[in-house]
Amino acid sequence: MTETGTFTEQNPIRVFLLDDHEVVRRGITDLLDAEPDISVVGDADTVAHALARGPALRPHVAVLDVRLPDGDGITVCRELRSRMPELACLMLTSFDDEDALLDAIMAGASGYVLKQIRGSDLVSAVRTVASGQSMLDPATTARLMRTLRADPAETPTIAPELASLSPRERDILALIGEGLTNREIGHKLYLSEKTVKNHISRLLAKLGVQRRVQAAVLASHLEQPETSERPGR
């Protein structure tokens, strides 16, 4: 994938679109193609079509409808990213669905937005996920986190992975779940930003996830640890 910040009119963000409604596909295509640094390279209206066509187009971003006649966009996200790990998937749906949000995050999606989003915000979301950042609907995400913390029994069993973390890694994971940046985590735990980054790389590997936002979801299963306010390693 092109490095962050290098997309231009000559080297645009390549977008693949999946939606079962032709009017929606045309509208989104017209919206995105109007931007000089974005180009819609292809689309599909079914899961089967998307899996057959998507990889050959080598998109940077896939905008995927969650609910489809022959399946769902979350499955497409998981399958496409297994073939193209650097692909950023932006889930687009008419439904404010907490279960779908959790599934999308764990499938490796970079973003999840509602179809009620303004056109300018969708363009911004495409640019955000193309740059390697996460774009999740804040209200839906916050509600999901509250739900997970209130009833962890409803979520997948992940205790073995969490148990593999060191006390320091568990501290850092809890702070990721609170939305802190690496610098803020380092300040709170008296660690350098580089040390925090190394800890995060290791804990992501232990948890079997690739993205920080996935780790944030898993953090909701932790009892919030009492992080030390004293210097230490």
In whole angstroms, what is the distance from residue 29 CA to residue 23 CA? 10
CB neighbours of 170 closer than 8 A, spacing ≥ 6? 162, 222, 225
Taking only the tens place, the pLDDT of each residue in 203-229 is 888 887 777 777 777 776 655 444 444
Position 5 scores a pLDDT of 52
Q: Strand ranges (DSSP E) for the chain?
A: 13-18, 38-44, 61-65, 67-68, 71-72, 88-93, 111-114, 135-136
199 vs 233: which has the higher pLDDT: 199
Given a cut of 50, whether residue 108 has pLDDT beyond it is yes
Domain with CATH 1.10.10.10 in the chain: 156-219
**CATH numeric code, 13-138:** 3.40.50.2300
The pLDDT, as a whole number, for residue 152 is 47
* Position with higher pLDDT, 128 vs 147: 128
Neighbours of 111 (CB within 10 A): 23
Which architecture does CATH list for 156-219? Answer: Orthogonal Bundle (1.10)
- Give the model's pLDDT for residue 210: 73
Side-chain-side CA neighbours of residue 14 (13 Å):
15
Mean pLDDT calculated for residue range 171-182: 81
pLDDT band at residue 120, thresholds of 50, 70 and 90?
very high
Under a CB-based contact definition with an 8 Å cutoff, are residues 40 and 126 in contact?
no
pLDDT band with cut points at 50, 70 and 90 for residue 170: confident
Domain limits, CATH 3.40.50.2300, in the chain: 13-138
Compute the distance between CA of residue 155 and CA of residue 151 in angstroms, rounded to an integer. Answer: 8
The residue type of 163 is A
| Average pLDDT, integer, range 137-154 | 57
What pLDDT is recorded for position 212?
74
Within a 10 A sphere around the Cβ of 46, how many other Cβ atoms?
15
